[in-house]
Amino acid sequence: MEKLTKFVKEQSLQRSERSSHGEELVQWLVELGARGEKAAADMGFASSVANMATDRDDAVAAAAITTLGDLGAEGAKHMGAVASGLNRSPEVVVAAATALARFGTAAAAQDENLATCLERLSHDGAKAAVLAALGAVKAESHAHLVVKYLDDPSMAVSCAACQALGNLSSGAQEAPRIALKLKDPAGRFAAATALGKLGPHVVQKNLPELVACLKDKDSLTRQAAGDTLAVAADVVSQDGQGIASLLKDPAPGIRCTAALALGKLGPKGAAYAAEVAELLRDTAEDESESYLAVGGGSLRSDATLRRPKCAALASLSRMQAESHLNAIAAALRDTSYEVRLAALDAIMHMGPSAKKYSTSVMSVMEDDVYLVRLKSCQCIAAIGATDVMDNLPDLFQDEAPSVRQGALEALATNPEIAKKYSSQVFKLMADEYGCVRGAAMRCLASMDTVGQCYASAIAGELTSQDPEARAAACETLGRLGDYGAAFAEEVEVCQQDEVPMVRAAAATAMVRLGGMRGLENGS
């Protein structure tokens, strides 16, 4: 957080410095994009990014525009800066078109610019990006232009046109041509995705071909086919044996796909729950695509796409197959942390019916992997496992700040239990991480009158160097009634904070505290 604040403050970099700082800027922009929309709203750095979207260095401009696309609604506020990239090099055009596509219909007014750009392009990658954007912004008036590229010699362009038509209402009349691409491995992903967006009727017409796609060598294509089959869940669930038969396929990746496809049918797929549950004894892992992740070439596939056991756990939870909760809870003892995570996730999604497995969840609160410990906290809160919440303070000294934060947030869901540990919660107000101090403050605020005793200590965080802690202090004081109102003047000062997140929290708190002060004055 300190690093991010420093970046926002120092964005008065001179143009003359840009040439030597280009690579550094690109790396910063990648980091900012990864933080997403909420961070942009909290820290207010979208404007600084937009200023770099017109940089003379194509690499910097493309990175800035890509980042704006990553920032969602905050990035969309700078639509003009993004669209300006459509008039530059193919690298920047790709970034601009991709960002506009991510804004969706919010960028509908850019349809003419996209269409004009498309007709002047000769670069296949840029054409594909612009076609995808035309579909994403719902450019119905340009559907005829998109259709022209459906059989383009370039597979990238052809597939982009295919997916774009999937987003347009007029694309339904091209469904037969799109379905033909299911026969070509290179176009299969695009076709499967597009057909799903064209609705249940189109999916129903192509069921055999889509089921066959569940055996594709590419995991993303298999996943797309499963998503598309779920669009026609009523029909597929009535005759899902073709999918269920793939649960016994020799390839573990295909067994994963089959389980997930049945799970995506929701409760309608519960008729196949027993067959899916058989995979809970499957210890295999699909490593056929592991080469993609070597050297950082690609992110590792999700565990549900590699491990049949993880896929089965996800599927059973989506089916709400409560009769298999015993087997799901037993997976918490698995040697693979990915399976343990998947089991916790499944229990969480089962809701209150999984409450009786609270002790099983508690058993992984001391897991060697911090992600499992964190998920156990979230699971306890999600299922309302009040009988084991007294164990949450044991994690207040955990080495991972995210676990300490998770334990505090879980404890805050039950104020009556939390009150017993107010002094231990208070000690975390001295934690080195602002996110943990913020969680401690919110936990104290949940304790009603007990939490009010700590108002003075919480007010001390209003001058913290960490903006997350300052925002949490404002928010918490706003919830402490008269005790918080005693510090209304200090909170009011925070409305001038340099960080938007803090200003917003202070403004919200002042609305609450204003009412309190009014009552004190008899108004």
Among 31, 68, 35, which Cα is nearest to 52's?
68
Domain count of the fold of the chain: 2
**pLDDT exceeds 90 at position 224:** yes
pLDDT at 275: 97
Residues 354 and 259 in one domain: yes
What are the tokens at 14?
């001179």
**pLDDT exceeds 50 at position 7:** no
Q: Tell me the pTM.
A: 0.84
Share of the chain above pLDDT 70, in %: 92
For residue 153, the tally of other CB atoms under 10 A from its CB is: 7
- List the alpha helices (DSSP H) in 321-466: 325-330, 337-350, 358-362, 370-383, 401-411, 415-418, 422-427, 434-445, 449-452, 455-459
Does residue 264 fall inside a structural domain? Answer: yes
Among 410, 392, 474, which Cα is nearest to 438's?
474
**pLDDT exceeds 90 at position 294:** no
Share of the chain above pLDDT 90, in %: 84
DSSP state, residue 365: T
Average pLDDT over residues 46-65: 93
pLDDT at 287: 86
**pLDDT exceeds 50 at position 15:** no
> What integer best gives the mean pLDDT of the chain?
91
Average pLDDT over residues 214-236: 93
Residues 341 and 427 in one domain: no
Average pLDDT over residues 171-190: 94
**pLDDT exceeds 90 at position 516:** no
Among 384, 410, 440, give the residue marking a domain's end: 384
pLDDT at 92: 97
Residues 347 and 438 in one domain: no
> CATH code at 364?
1.25.10.10
Average pLDDT over residues 394-412: 97
pLDDT at 20: 46
| 20-24, 201-205, 426-430, 452-456: the lowest-pLDDT one | 20-24
pLDDT at 299: 59
Does residue 252 fall inside a structural domain? Answer: yes
Does residue 82 fall inside a structural domain? Answer: no
Among 357, 384, 411, give the residue marking a domain's end: 384
**pLDDT exceeds 60 at position 131:** yes
Residues 274 and 331 in one domain: yes
Residues 432 and 477 in one domain: yes
How would residue 4 be classed by pLDDT, with cut points 50, 70 and 90? low
Among 338, 358, 384, give the residue marking a domain's end: 384
pLDDT at 335: 96
**pLDDT exceeds 60 at position 522:** no
Residues 361 and 485 in one domain: no
Residues 337 and 464 in one domain: no
What are the tokens at 105?
């219909």
Strands (E), 269-309: none
How would residue 1 be classed by pLDDT, with cut points 50, 70 and 90? low
**pLDDT exceeds 80 at position 195:** yes
pLDDT at 28: 86
pLDDT at 313: 98
| 16-20, 161-165, 204-208, 457-461: the lowest-pLDDT one | 16-20
**pLDDT exceeds 80 at position 355:** yes
Average pLDDT over residues 422-447: 96
Residues 252 and 339 in one domain: yes
Of the chain, the end-to-end C-alpha distance in Å amounts to 41
Residues 256 and 370 in one domain: yes
- Side chain identity, residue 263: G
64 to 46, 50, 80, 125, 498: CA distances (angstroms) = 10, 7, 13, 19, 22
Residues 379 and 491 in one domain: no
139 to 108, 149, 177, 486: CA distances (angstroms) = 7, 15, 20, 55
Does residue 192 fall inside a structural domain? Answer: no
How would residue 239 be classed by pLDDT, with cut points 50, 70 and 90? confident
pLDDT at 351: 84
**pLDDT exceeds 60 at position 520:** no
Does residue 41 fall inside a structural domain? Answer: no
Does residue 441 fall inside a structural domain? Answer: yes
Does residue 47 fall inside a structural domain? Answer: no
Q: Which residues contact 134 (CB under 8 A, 6 or more apart)?
A: 111, 114, 115, 118, 142, 145, 146, 164
Residues 424 and 380 in one domain: no
Does residue 231 fall inside a structural domain? Answer: no
Average pLDDT over residues 44-52: 91
pLDDT at 22: 75
Residues 482 and 357 in one domain: no
| Domain around 523 | 420-523
